[in-house]
Structure 1
Amino acid sequence: MSLFKSASLVSLLTLASRITGLVRELLMASTFGASALTDAFNVAFRIPNLLRRLFAEGAFSQAFVPVLAGVRAKDGDDATRELVNQIATVLVWALVATCVVGVAISPMLVWAMASGLKQSPQGFESAVLMTRWMFPYIGFMSLVALSAGVLNTWKKFAVPAATPVLLNVAMIGAAWLGAPWFQSLGIEPIYAMAAGVMLGGALQLGVQIPALLRIGMLPRVGLRWSSLRAAWAHPGTRRVTTLMLPALLGVSVAQISLLINTQIASHLATGSVSWLSYADRLMEFPTAMLGVALGVVLLPQLAAARAADDGERYSALLDWGLRLVVLLAVPCAVALLTFAKPLVAVLYHYGAFSERDVAQTTTALMGYGAGLLGLVAIKVLAPGFYARQDIRTPVKIAIVVLLLTQAMNLVFVPRLAHAGLALAIGLGAMVNALWLLIGLVRRGAYRPAPGWARFAMQVLAASALLAVFLMWSAGSVNWVAFEGGALLRVGLMAAIVVGAALLYFVALVLSGLKLRQFVRK
């Protein structure tokens, strides 16, 4: 399977995940709106998610996948299987200890994440309770990350890309069926969402097992103390943990930024945490479909090219990935900046989600959109360093960008409130991506192929035409007070989105851009 087909498969499955995630958010918005209790759930859900991004999909994956790909390329499948067994043993022991401690200190974690919830005693206590229920989710997702690393190295991309759908389905069931059932039992309905999260985590882990069995890589976990000691002494384990330390610091920087922003948002108007969460869900469509899909496919390939000392292929992989980022992320950014209000209104403006919620979520979405190109490009550029087992450089860059982002918060938040937090994140991502790009070029790891100037002009010209069309579409219809019914409004937006995509790609073709070059790579 070509890289383009692999990336397309991951992107399509990620699209399914994001669509079900959007349905999940739509149900939550219409059922619960934006209140102190939805803020409590979002804070409680963000805690295990923060740790998941910090350890499972962050530092662990960044360290594990390059080592795994290198061992397989040099030493074969038997040595790789032994490495997976030892890593899994250490990981399981660490996760058990983490979950026990996390449940015990949940009040401190909630206070550290959003002390502003103290203004509503019910909100704070609910957040603590739901954090305790959901904390073991980090255990499920860390093991899912281990499985995904193995499957992606074997070029089995479908199962890891599809599993997030199961979490969304579980949470949809919780909002649709669980919440009314909890209410009939006299239990706060929002607690059903915490139960849905745990069910979704268990389902995601469960579907990995048959996939690992098919390639003969289901880990054998040592449950004795002697097994843990042997696993810790394995050189592969030591290499992964050594790489994890700087990776952990780098990922921590991004999560510290998220922590600070959530803390700030909890002190703003009630609903601010939820508005940012709803906007983040829409922003994740392009970042996941483009950035995450490309990162998942490229990292094992870049690591293998590096292990084979094939600098030409290494640079060509990065060039292909970056051109796809520019081709697809720039028009998406234009759409978020010019068509944000119709998107928010059509997708969220139902039930308890008010017109004010639409306006506030729109401003946050536009803030994210300003930095979308950077947010997506990082997913391609950072693996360029990870594949070289150079994690320190992205860490140093991330630390400086964190300081810059918080400086921007001081300027933006007093003027733009919660939307200022989103704008600071977006602009910080642009700086981060540019810095990573310059670092790869200066090291000689990435040598841009000829034709970038012409390509950039073609994309910018087509995007300008797209912007005009979307601004006209946004202003020609009253999307919030639409009188034609929900289905007609959804259909109209779908027609405009399809028309916008056709307009963009036809303009590119007429400008002389050959789209087939991206397929052949």
Structure 2
Amino acid sequence: MSATRPRRAVLALSGLNLAGKLLAIGKTLIIATLFGTSGVLDAFWVAYSLPLMLPNLLTTVITVAFVPRFVKSLEGRTGADAWRGANTLFTLAIGVSLLACAAIQLWTGALVHRLAPGLAPENQQQAIAMIRLMLPCMLMLTLSSLLSALSNARERFVLPGLDGIVNNSAIILVALLLARELGVRALIAGITLGFFVQLCILAFGNRDLFRSSLRPAFALGHPDFLRPLAHLLPLLVGSVGAMLTGLVDQYFVSRLDAGSISALTYATMMAMLPVEVFAQAIITSYYPSLGRGVAAGDHTAVAATWRSGQRLILLLTLPCAVLLVGLAKPIVIVLLEHGRFDERSTALTVEAMSLLAIGMVFRSQAYFSYRVLHSMVRPWTQVFIGLAGVATCVGLNLLWAQRLGLRGVALSAVLSQLQSSLLAAIVVRRLLRAGAPAQRPLSAPLLLPLGVLAAGILLARVIVPAGLYEASHRLWAIACGLATLPAGLAAFALAWRLGLPEARDIGARLRARRARPRGAGGS
């Protein structure tokens, strides 16, 4: 299949993701202004992670395992009988979510103590209370995960892509209205509202399947249920391993100064923004094409799709990494340094963000390569790569977390992501070597634009007078950002002149969109 259709979907999803992430930046700004990097906010982030862990796990497991099976056997088929195996999978996922809600309700205190032993006793109690308030979100997010998997498998990407817009808008609205009365619990109210609205949107978008095919089922012997199990088990193990990395980081950071969990969360949000805006859109849009290529036995098409996606990810994430590393401090000052987010909070966040932005590129590449492995139904390979990354992260944290603080935790994450990215790429290349088309590597022509961008950032920091920082942190940060704009434009123009296909494709689409109103209006 031509890469044109996935690229169109990438542009649409990138637009939705960008809108959602701009709202996420607004949400983060409001949280930082209201709560800074306080102990009570650390308690909120611990509470936020636990109830949503299982639904996020199900999102990955169901989406990745279901899409290839849907493409192979369910596409175009309707009716409760045809969907009996898939319905059994969905019914069990909902049942597991309900059981997990009950277990968390019973053992909340023990879980909080194990996950964040360094929290002050009062903050641990706050985390316990907030976790119990968020338990309804667990079931809502599970249902949304299943409906998003269905939508993506049917290549209906828009409604799942609204998730960031809906949820962040709800959190912003409720926080602005209720933060004074409810404190940090206003964030929980906003999260609950956002999940409910997004669930309603997804249910409406899949209403045809509710009428024709989706029913509770317990056909444990059905082939459409049994076949994905061989894929689901290793995927589940691998996803649990990936989540362990975040829990390990939280465990070690909880033993640092109060507010460190919040600072790491802010840094991760900012550094991983290009993953959510660009890489996730590419991964989601290209995955059905990878599944179809594997189903048809066309490894040449799979290799072409993988290489095209890899190039597009690098083209979009590498410049973002350069900007995030070079402008970490100005970005944090402009976006977050308000209200209770003070200079100490800025220093902590920049310390982690400057490293995590590098790991963002490696994580994007690893995630895309994982989708190739899952399309080829080789999930255990991804499991071993992921668990090796977890082991590396744990070992490095044991060496560095106490000595280097947040910098050590971030460096451990970056090196483990680099390891996973390299291993995944090596395995995919070996699997697709027979069908891999010859293609010019992206790295060589991209180095020059990246050099221009990096030089522009350094020059901007030199040009902007140091005395301006003492006069006004915010003015200094804005001046640094504005001085970097010409370098960014020059870097993209150079990439276009060097003939990078993705840069030319983006430029052509921008010109086409600009010219469309002057053309025939009926199309």
> TM-score under structure 1 normalisation?
0.90
Which amino acid is 1:68 matched to? F
- In structure 2, the partner of 1:50 is 53
Partner Cα separation in structure 2 for residue 70 and residue 16 of structure 1: 33
Structure 2 CA distance for partners of 1:463 and 1:485, relative to 1, 3 Å: closer
Do the aligned partners of 2:58 and 2:93 also contact (CA within 8 Å) in 1? Answer: no
Structure 2 CA distance for partners of 1:41 and 1:449, relative to 1, 3 Å: same
- In structure 2, the partner of 1:36 is 39
- In structure 2, the partner of 1:124 is 124
- In structure 2, the partner of 1:101 is 103
Structure 2 CA distance for partners of 1:338 and 1:94, relative to 1, 3 Å: same
Partner Cα separation in structure 1 for residue 433 and residue 101 of structure 2: 40
| Aligned mate of 2:422, from 430, 434, 443 | 434
Gaps of 5+ in 2: 510-523
Deviation of 1:481 (Å) = 4.4
Which amino acid is 1:262 matched to? Q
- In structure 2, the partner of 1:252 is 240
Q: Deviations over 1:204-260 (max 9, x none)?
A: 1111011112567776342xxxx4x33x33222222333221111111111111111
Matches within 5 A, 1:455-470: 455-470=442-457
In the alignment, structure 1 residue 21 sits paired with structure 2 residue 24: yes
Do the aligned partners of 1:341 and 1:474 also contact (CA within 8 Å) in 2? Answer: no
| Aligned mate of 2:191, from 183, 193, 197 | 197
Deviation of 1:502 (Å) = 1.3
Partner Cα separation in structure 1 for residue 55 and residue 468 of structure 2: 36
Partner Cα separation in structure 2 for residue 477 and residue 56 of structure 1: 51
Partner Cα separation in structure 1 for residue 162 and residue 484 of structure 2: 24
- In structure 2, the partner of 1:151 is 151
Structure 2 CA distance for partners of 1:311 and 1:42, relative to 1, 3 Å: same
Structure 2 CA distance for partners of 1:450 and 1:495, relative to 1, 3 Å: farther
Matches within 5 A, 1:72-91: 72=74, 76-78=77-79, 81-91=83-93
Q: Deviations over 1:482-511 (max 9, x none)?
A: 75796x678656645643431211121233
Partner Cα separation in structure 1 for residue 41 and residue 304 of structure 2: 46
Deviation of 1:135 (Å) = 2.5
Structure 2 CA distance for partners of 1:513 and 1:297, relative to 1, 3 Å: closer
Tell me the SS of whatever aligns to 1:136.
Answer: helix
Partner Cα separation in structure 2 for residue 478 and residue 143 of structure 1: 52
- In structure 1, the partner of 2:207 is 213
Which amino acid is 2:375 matched to? A
Which amino acid is 1:14 matched to? N
Do the aligned partners of 2:52 and 2:141 also contact (CA within 8 Å) in 1? Answer: no
**Paired-residue identity, %:** 25
Which amino acid is 1:9 matched to? A
**Higher mean C-alpha displacement, 345-354 vs 499-508:** 499-508
Structure 2 CA distance for partners of 1:516 and 1:128, relative to 1, 3 Å: closer
Matches within 5 A, 1:59-74: 59-72=61-74
- In structure 1, the partner of 2:352 is 364
- In structure 2, the partner of 1:281 is 269
Which amino acid is 1:106 matched to? T
Do the aligned partners of 1:15 and 1:289 also contact (CA within 8 Å) in 2? Answer: yes
Structure 2 CA distance for partners of 1:214 and 1:503, relative to 1, 3 Å: farther
Partner Cα separation in structure 1 for residue 334 and residue 212 of structure 2: 44
Partner Cα separation in structure 2 for residue 48 and residue 446 of structure 1: 44
Structure 2 CA distance for partners of 1:40 and 1:29, relative to 1, 3 Å: same
Structure 2 CA distance for partners of 1:341 and 1:181, relative to 1, 3 Å: same
- In structure 2, the partner of 1:174 is 174
- In structure 2, the partner of 1:186 is none
- In structure 2, the partner of 1:410 is 398
Which amino acid is 1:107 matched to? G
Deviation of 1:83 (Å) = 4.3
- In structure 1, the partner of 2:376 is 388
Which amino acid is 2:383 matched to? V
| Aligned mate of 1:6, from 9, 20, 36 | 9
In the alignment, structure 1 residue 329 sits paired with structure 2 residue 317: yes
Do the aligned partners of 1:166 and 1:203 also contact (CA within 8 Å) in 2? Answer: yes
Partner Cα separation in structure 2 for residue 273 and residue 349 of structure 1: 17
Tell me the SS of whatever aligns to 2:206.
Answer: helix
**Higher mean C-alpha displacement, 466-475 vs 349-358:** 466-475
Do the aligned partners of 2:42 and 2:259 also contact (CA within 8 Å) in 1? Answer: yes
- In structure 2, the partner of 1:310 is 298
Deviation of 1:151 (Å) = 1.1
- In structure 1, the partner of 2:516 is none
Deviation of 1:438 (Å) = 0.5
Partner Cα separation in structure 2 for residue 418 and residue 192 of structure 1: 28
- In structure 2, the partner of 1:379 is 367
Do the aligned partners of 1:69 and 1:153 also contact (CA within 8 Å) in 2? Answer: yes
- In structure 2, the partner of 1:320 is 308
Partner Cα separation in structure 1 for residue 310 and residue 350 of structure 2: 28
Structure 2 CA distance for partners of 1:144 and 1:219, relative to 1, 3 Å: farther
Deviation of 1:85 (Å) = 3.0
Partner Cα separation in structure 1 for residue 123 and residue 313 of structure 2: 40
Partner Cα separation in structure 1 for residue 293 and residue 383 of structure 2: 23
Which amino acid is 2:425 matched to? L
Deviation of 1:158 (Å) = 0.6
Structure 2 CA distance for partners of 1:327 and 1:516, relative to 1, 3 Å: closer
Tell me the SS of whatever aligns to 1:444.
Answer: helix
| Aligned mate of 2:229, from 223, 241, 246 | 241
Do the aligned partners of 2:315 and 2:502 also contact (CA within 8 Å) in 1? Answer: no
Structure 2 CA distance for partners of 1:493 and 1:474, relative to 1, 3 Å: closer
Partner Cα separation in structure 2 for residue 281 and residue 26 of structure 1: 11
In the alignment, structure 1 residue 111 sits paired with structure 2 residue 98: no
Count of aligned residue pairs for this structure pair: 503
Deviation of 1:518 (Å) = 4.8
Q: Deviations over 1:463-498 (max 9, x none)?
A: 011111112224525699475796x67865664564
**Higher mean C-alpha displacement, 391-400 vs 492-501:** 492-501
**Higher mean C-alpha displacement, 435-444 vs 213-222:** 213-222
Which amino acid is 1:142 matched to? T
Q: Deviations over 1:335-356 (max 9, x none)?
A: 1221111111111011100011
In the alignment, structure 1 residue 397 sits paired with structure 2 residue 385: yes
Which amino acid is 1:18 matched to? K
Deviation of 1:160 (Å) = 0.3
Do the aligned partners of 2:26 and 2:172 also contact (CA within 8 Å) in 1? Answer: yes
Question: Aligned Cα RMSD in Å?
Answer: 2.5
